[in-house]
Structure 1
Amino acid sequence: MARLEPYFPKSHGRPRVDDRRVLSGIIFVNRNGLRWRDAPKDYGPHKTLYNRWKRWGAMGVFSRMMEGLATGADRKTVMIDATYLKAHRTASSLAGKKGGLGRLIGRTKGGMNTKLHAVTDANGRPLSFFMTAGQISDYIGAAALLDGLPKTQWLLADRGYDADWFRDALEAKGIKPCIPGRKSRNEPIKYDKRRYRRRNRIEIMFGRLKDWRRVATRYDRCPTAFFAAIALAATVIFWL
């Protein structure tokens, strides 16, 4: 709690309900995929948990927690990848004329889902996230995360990120790409195979995030609330 308190908003007027109890209840609900009304009474009124969750999520408190605690990470090598998160019918229903793009939900062969793009350090601990609809290309996520990449020496990625523009953009930032070439290339791409073996750590990171029920399956229609759940899970699992 001492590490998290600097990221809490300041209370005005009446003293706020116990932060430790409320935050513990929010973590319990998100980890187990419960409805807010089903939260144990030990955590206090479920409306208090939900209101705090919605208010702090909209303010970006949970995202700032993760980014703030991640400042001490070793960033000599970073990795980038993306994964799909299944959208429950309660999140994807009444999507509107645009097919849910405003909610960042898209239709792929696997059904309705959201795609999570992530950048991690060499140990697979998340540094930043970007969320899109499921049918969006990995290149769009890479372009969105490109400007926010930390000063690093190497970037590891699978062959889905093998594009000349991406390699040129990394080299312009002084980053060496460790990305295998696509099989359709006429000339093979040389890369550090020994260093590339560490890339499985970002896959492990996605698997650990999906241990949280409300991350593995998206129940929230609001993309801000769902993104807050991802940031909170990453903070608890990797940075505390």
Structure 2
Amino acid sequence: MTYDFFDVRVSAVSVLTPSAVRVTFTGRGLSSFVSGGRDQRFKLFFAAPGQAEAIVPRTPDWYLDWRAMDPAVRGIMRTYTVAEHRPDGFDVDFALHPGVTGPASAWAATARVGDPLLVLGPTVTDNGGVDFQPPPGTDWVLLAGDETAVPALAAIRSYIGNQLPVHTFIAAAPARCEPGGVHCPAGLLAPVRGAALPAGTPYAFIAGESGEVRALRRHLVRERGFDKRRVRFSGYWRRGATEDDLTAAPEGD
């Protein structure tokens, strides 16, 4: 089994910036929670309004069974990245989105030690929740993302180490930008478009708001000549839409 459900509890909450907090989770059985590193994604489930806990069918076909449930009753699913993994637990960074009261950011803003949560996480390192896969022959890496992508970008940067040159562009609070990266307070496209990038064969990983991510991918492929197979892009969120909206959309939308 590649994924399994885990009952976890908050063991620590730390403020990263005025718009981001890090929540540490621990729980029994987490020795089976195995991260593939890099941009490892997994699922968090929050209680629906009026429910004491997230109601999720823990069945082999859990996703189909969950989709078949009344949306007003079933647990609210959100996708996050492992910020840091340890044998006895893991950290998750939450963007608080001032003025936006989504279920995940609202939960994180008031999270306290001891609070329970249900997660669906990987049990093998080689799982489908890791997108950063540079092919052989890569000479350098371009990383770009907004506040929601900071944990993935940081984990990827740690994974690469000194193996390859990395050019990083981050549209987030300055405190969340890695040393040497380009701070992009007004968005990613203009700074990347104006950057002097190296020669050689690149590999790009872009994550953040769906519209900006797609625009940046078009720039890299059409204007910079990147091979589209060497541009991995992921819309972590879409302006004006929630993950519930995206889940409810027809397949292929």
TM-score (norm 2): 0.29
TM-score (norm 1): 0.30
Q: Which has the higher contact order (CA 8 A, sep 6+)?
A: 1
Instruction: Find the structure with the greater CA-based Rg.
Output: 1
Instruction: Name the one with the larger helix percent.
Output: 1
